[in-house]
């Protein structure tokens, strides 16, 4: 698993371009300190980050390796994986033909904190540091608008603050929100995102404060991972059935790191029962699967692996090859290599769409 | 349709609490009257929701509250030869363990007397008080003496995932008696109906059961229930079908990545599911075109997974057959007859 990386084939390198929609540069709280008011720095030093789970350090379901990261991703000069730009260039950005990579910071960002005001202050700091600490040092790294999503109004304010700034690629939510994302309390996020012309990325993880399944708390990390798909299914259903896309027809959603094989069957299931129950949702003008097909994009890693390769190709066809975008998830342990991870059966045209062109169109990257 | 079809999911309906009175101990009968308890019908299937009762199954009232009307539809009209009753009453929702046991016993006795005694083509699942695993096991032991009970039925949304070890005595009892564990939509309402809180619409509630079934399989596999109980069979009833391939690809991939965490899972989850898990075919949550259906069936990679069910009286299909279009003849026969017989050993046993 931990073999030394060699320079990939140069011929391939010159032909292919890669836009990676999910990497995780790591910042420390100390990096964010200059952007935080003393009140919030003191709050952090005294009370800490208070996400909706029990452990002071670490995760409810311990990962399979430290920081869920590749064991070879720890910078030789010290610090956490993906905290050192030069090493990240050497190991990833320069090793592959990366044109752009979208940063989805996971922590520390204050997202999902019990304290909404702290969450809002942290979002501003996380966004400033993405620019100063990363983008300005390497223009390939595009930022996400981290928003304090449990507070719709504060989120709207943060999106408006970043509107028109081309250094930001999308608005970033985590998938485990305290309530379903179709609920009205989250609509200011969509309104502001549409105003700003930004897609909304929903990256898996977060702490909702609720059991990870609708049948209670599981025991294992493998379940925690598997349940991201069930959580994302609930989010997609909620967004569609609540009529979010009727209200915001220009809204585009990117499901990040959620897999996608669950998506076509979810559309079929919604359609099947919508036919029987449509009197309950008269605000929907079309079959649920049509909103799904039109308004949602997916990222590849960790893409499901069928036992028979043809089956995965069928499922990708059902999702739509124009809505699938490559993600590496660098520096995490289940990293996908841009040159090796996509199914060999993908022809050049589809490969190019997935590796770069779909993202180029969605994010309007020139 | 062949006339030998085995319908693995029909729903007798407890008409009201009074119907159970003869089967309740006097203390509970009196208590329910004294306290003015209106009954324990679950909110999972509100009676006027179109999905709960198909319009043309209705007569002047509910088509599944007595055996004559149910049999007329399930056997005469839909041409089944045998049918398994899954009684959805809110036993599992009750908060008092003692009350739950009393109502579970009453429901099972009511099913035996008012349904199984009156139509020899009917079989039934044992309803158990999942609030207390010891009580549940005792109810399985009691009912298993009657060979017309062919399965134990549990709700899809529980207080804790069904693989968790505290559930295992139920699996041991089921395995001992040759009873598959059926898991059926329905919630104990101990948690919100999605893992992210309460949805707005009934349509969301019902769609969310597919997530609960995925979570239950994840739990049963990860906790090692199938390694511990090699004879354990699980039937996902009314679960939908088309989510299964993608789910198996996902969990099998993750198992390859982090299997050190669950060393008792000693083979791919996809293989485990094909050996131990079956799904009823209704509702078949796919587009109507035969080509897509053929591809989905191909993705299942087994002709033994699916069991025929009408889900009577729920409105899941129109016309006279719940079978999806375009199935090859051989597969249809397996779904209608052979797979149910292979899944429920008690269907083949002579009933004394």
Write down the pLDDT at residue B59: 78
The token pair that represents A63 in the structure block: 């990962």
DSSP classification of residue B283: S
CB pairs under 8 A between A and B: 240
CATH (domain of B84): 3.20.20.140
Q: Which of the residues A69, A218, A226 would you substitute to probe the B interface, choosing the one with the greatest number of B C-beta atoms within 10 Å?
A: A226
Write down the pLDDT at residue B351: 60
**Contact state of A266 with B210 under an 8 Å Cβ cutoff:** yes
Q: Which residues make Cβ contacts (< 8 Å) with residue B67, sequence separation at least 6?
A: B12, B114, B115, B118, B119, B122
Q: What are phi and psi of A20, to 5 degrees?
A: -100, 120
Please tell me which residue of chain A has the smallest CA distance to B247: A262
| Distance of alpha carbon B205 from alpha carbon A226, whole angstroms | 20
A11 has pLDDT over 90:
no
Please tell me which residue of chain A has the smallest CA distance to B291: A314
| Distance of alpha carbon B165 from alpha carbon B179, whole angstroms | 19
| Distance of alpha carbon A311 from alpha carbon B84, whole angstroms | 34
Q: How many helices (H) and strands (E) does chain A have?
A: 14, 8
For residue B255, list chain A residues with Cβ-Cβ distance below 8 A: 222
Q: Which residues make Cβ contacts (< 8 Å) with residue B245, sequence separation at least 6?
A: A261, A306, A311, A315, B296, B299, B300, B301
| Interval A70-92: pLDDT, tens | 999 999 999 999 999 999 999 99
Q: Which is nearest to A218 in space by CA: A209, A227, A206, A208?
A: A227
H or E stretch covering A247: helix A244-247
| Distance of alpha carbon A299 from alpha carbon A257, whole angstroms | 6
Q: Which residues on neighbouring strands pair with residue A297, listed in sequence order?
A: A254
Q: Within 10 A of B264 (CB to CB), how many other CB atoms are there? A: 12
| Distance of alpha carbon B180 from alpha carbon B41, whole angstroms | 25
8 A C-beta contact, residue B135 and residue B101: yes
Write down the pLDDT at residue A14: 54
What domain count does chain B have? 1
8 A C-beta contact, residue A231 and residue B195: yes
A10 has pLDDT over 80:
no
Q: In what order do the strands lie in the sheet with A253-256?
A: A18-23, A98-103, A141-146, A168-174, A200-203, A253-256, A296-299, A324-325
Interface predicted TM-score of the whole assembly (ipTM), two decimals: 0.97
What average pLDDT does this structure show over A124-145?
98
**Contact state of B156 with A215 under an 8 Å Cβ cutoff:** yes
Q: Which is nearest to B320 in space by CA: B6, B84, B58, B74?
A: B74
Q: State the Rg of chain B over Cα.
A: 19
8 A C-beta contact, residue A6 and residue A87: no
| Distance of alpha carbon B248 from alpha carbon B308, whole angstroms | 22
For residue B250, list chain A residues with Cβ-Cβ distance below 8 A: 226, 229, 259, 261-262, 304
**B234 three-class SS:** strand
The residue that leads in pLDDT, A1 or B247, is: B247
CA distances from B277 to A124, B186, B221, B232, B236 (A): 49, 19, 11, 9, 7
The token pair that represents A15 in the structure block: 């032909």
Does B352 map to a domain?
Answer: no
8 A C-beta contact, residue B128 and residue B160: no
pTM: 0.96
Domain that holds residue B308: 5-344
**In this structure, CATH architecture of domain A10-362:** Alpha-Beta Barrel (3.20)
Our CA angle for B204, B293, B299, nearest 5°, is 90
Does B349 map to a domain?
Answer: no
**Contact state of B206 with A181 under an 8 Å Cβ cutoff:** no
Does B192 map to a domain?
Answer: yes
The token pair that represents B158 in the structure block: 């529980």
**A69 three-class SS:** strand
A12 has pLDDT over 70:
no
Q: Within 10 A of A37 (CB to CB), how many other CB atoms are there? A: 11
**Contact state of B191 with A225 under an 8 Å Cβ cutoff:** no
Helices (H), B5-161: 17-20, 26-35, 67-71, 97-111, 133-144
End-to-end CA distance of chain A, in Å? 36
Helix axes B202-223, B269-276, angle to 10 degrees: 100
For residue A181, list chain B residues with Cβ-Cβ distance below 8 A: 196
For tokens 């180029």, the residue is A360
Q: Which residues make Cβ contacts (< 8 Å) with residue B68, sequence separation at least 6?
A: none
**Contact state of A179 with B216 under an 8 Å Cβ cutoff:** no
For residue A149, list chain B residues with Cβ-Cβ distance below 8 A: none
Distance from CA of B225 to the nearest CA of A (A): 13
Write down the pLDDT at residue A15: 72
The token pair that represents A307 in the structure block: 């036992």
**Residue A1 confidence class, pLDDT cut points 50, 70, 90:** very low
Q: Which is nearest to A61 in space by CA: A220, A226, A227?
A: A220
For tokens 């996020």, the residue is A189
- Which among B194, B255, B316 is the nearest to A234, CB-wise? B194
A6 has pLDDT over 80:
no
**B152 three-class SS:** strand
8 A C-beta contact, residue A122 and residue A40: yes
DSSP classification of residue B331: H
Distance of CA A269 to the CA centre of its chain: 25
| pLDDT of chain B, 352 residues: tens digit per residue | 445 899 999 999 999 999 999 999 999 999 999 999 999 999 999 999 999 999 999 877 789 999 999 999 999 999 999 999 999 999 999 999 999 999 999 999 999 999 999 999 999 999 999 999 999 999 999 999 999 999 999 999 999 999 999 999 999 999 999 999 999 999 999 999 999 999 999 999 999 999 999 999 999 999 999 999 999 999 999 999 999 999 999 999 999 999 999 999 999 999 999 999 999 999 999 999 999 999 999 999 999 999 999 999 999 999 999 999 889 999 999 999 999 999 999 999 866 5
Distance from CA of A128 to the nearest CA of B (A): 30
8 A C-beta contact, residue B113 and residue B124: no
**B196 three-class SS:** coil
| Distance of alpha carbon B262 from alpha carbon A66, whole angstroms | 18
Distance from CA of A150 to the nearest CA of B (A): 13
Delimit the domains of chain A by residue range. 10-362
Sign of the C-alpha dihedral, residues A170, A176, A178, A183?
A: positive
Write down the pLDDT at residue B4: 83
Burial class of residue A249, CB neighbours in 10 A (0-12, 13-18, 19+): exposed
**Contact state of B196 with A179 under an 8 Å Cβ cutoff:** yes
**A18 three-class SS:** strand
**Contact state of A237 with B207 under an 8 Å Cβ cutoff:** yes
**Contact state of B315 with A265 under an 8 Å Cβ cutoff:** no
């Amino acid at each position: 698993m931990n073999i030394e990386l060699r320079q990939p084939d140069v011929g391939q390198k010159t032909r292919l371009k890669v836009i990676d929609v999910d990497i995780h540069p790591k910042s420390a709280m100390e990096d964010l300190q200059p952007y935080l008011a003393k009140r919030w720095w003191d709050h952090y030093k005294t009370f800490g980050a208070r996400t909706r789970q029990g452990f002071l350090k670490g995760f409810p379901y311990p990962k399979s390796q430290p920081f869920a990261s590749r064991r070879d991703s720890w910078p030789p000069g010290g610090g956490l994986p993906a905290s050192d730009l030069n090493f990240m260039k050497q190991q990833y950005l320069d090793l592959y033909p990366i044109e752009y990579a979208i940063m989805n910071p996971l922590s520390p960002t204050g997202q999902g904190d019990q304290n909404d005001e702290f969450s809002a202050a942290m979002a501003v700091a996380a966004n400033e540091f993405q620019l100063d600490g990363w983008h300005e040092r390497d223009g390939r790294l595009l930022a996400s608008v981290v928003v304090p999503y449990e507070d719709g109004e504060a989120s709207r304010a943060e999106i408006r603050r970043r509107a028109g700034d081309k250094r930001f690629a999308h608005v970033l939510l985590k998938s485990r929100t305290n309530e379903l994302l179709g609920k009205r309390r989250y609509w200011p996020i969509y309104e502001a995102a549409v105003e700003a012309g930004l897609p909304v990325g929903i990256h898996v993880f977060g702490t909702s404060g609720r059991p990870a399944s609708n049948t209670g708390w599981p025991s294992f990390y493998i379940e925690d991972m598997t349940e991201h798909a069930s959580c994302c299914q609930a989010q997609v259903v909620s967004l569609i059935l609540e009529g979010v896309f009727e209200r915001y027809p220009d809204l585009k959603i990117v499901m990040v790191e959620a897999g996608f094989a669950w998506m076509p069957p979810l559309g079929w299931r919604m359609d099947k029962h919508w036919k029987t129950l449509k009197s309950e949702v008269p605000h929907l003008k079309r079959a649920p699967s049509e909103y799904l097909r039109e308004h949602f994009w997916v990222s590849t890693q960790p893409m499901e692996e069928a036992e028979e390769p043809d089956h995965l190709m069928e499922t990708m066809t059902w999702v739509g090859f124009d809505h699938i975008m490559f993600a590496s998830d660098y520096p995490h342990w289940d990293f996908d290599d841009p040159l090796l991870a996509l199914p060999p059966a993908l022809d050049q045209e589809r490969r190019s769409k997935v590796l770069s062109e779909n993202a180029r169109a969605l994010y309007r990257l020139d | 349709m062949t006339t030998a079809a085995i319908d693995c999911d029909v729903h007798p309906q407890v008409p009201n609490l009074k119907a159970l009175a003869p089967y309740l101990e006097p203390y509970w009968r009196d208590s329910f009257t004294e306290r003015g308890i209106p009954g324990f019908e679950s909110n999972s299937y509100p009676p006027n929701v179109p999905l709960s009762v198909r319009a043309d199954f209705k007569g002047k009232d509910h088509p599944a509250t007595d055996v004559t009307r149910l049999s007329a539809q399930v056997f005469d009209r839909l041409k089944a030869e045998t049918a398994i009753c899954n009684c959805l009453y809110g036993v599992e929702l009750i908060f008092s363990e003692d009350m739950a046991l009393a109502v579970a016993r009453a429901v099972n006795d009511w099913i035996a007397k008012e349904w199984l005694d009156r139509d020899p083509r009917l079989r039934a699942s044992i309803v158990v008080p999942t609030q207390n695993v010891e009580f549940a096991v005792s109810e399985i032991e009691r009912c298993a003496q009657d060979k017309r009970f062919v399965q134990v039925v549990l709700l899809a949304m529980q207080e804790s995932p069904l693989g968790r070890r505290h559930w295992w005595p139920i699996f041991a009892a089921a395995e001992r008696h040759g009873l598959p564990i059926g898991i059926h939509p329905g919630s104990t309402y101990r948690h919100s109906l999605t893992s992210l809180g309460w949805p707005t619409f009934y349509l969301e509630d019902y769609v969310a059961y597919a997530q609960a079934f995925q979570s239950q399989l994840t739990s049963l596999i990860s906790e090692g229930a199938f390694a511990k109980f090699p004879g354990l069979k699980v039937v996902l009833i009314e679960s939908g079908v088309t989510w299964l391939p993608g789910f198996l690809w996902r969990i099998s991939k993750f198992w390859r990545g982090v299997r050190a965490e669950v060393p008792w899972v000693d083979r791919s989850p996809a293989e485990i599911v094909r050996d131990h898990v079956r799904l009823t075919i209704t509702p078949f949550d796919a587009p109507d075109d035969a080509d897509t259906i053929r591809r989905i069936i191909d993705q299942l990679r087994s002709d033994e997974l699916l069991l025929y069910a009408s889900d009577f009286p729920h409105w899941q299909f129109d016309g006279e057959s719940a079978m999806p279009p375009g199935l090859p003849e051989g597969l249809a026969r397996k779904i209608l007859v052979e797979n149910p017989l292979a899944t429920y050993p008690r269907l083949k046993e002579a009933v004394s």
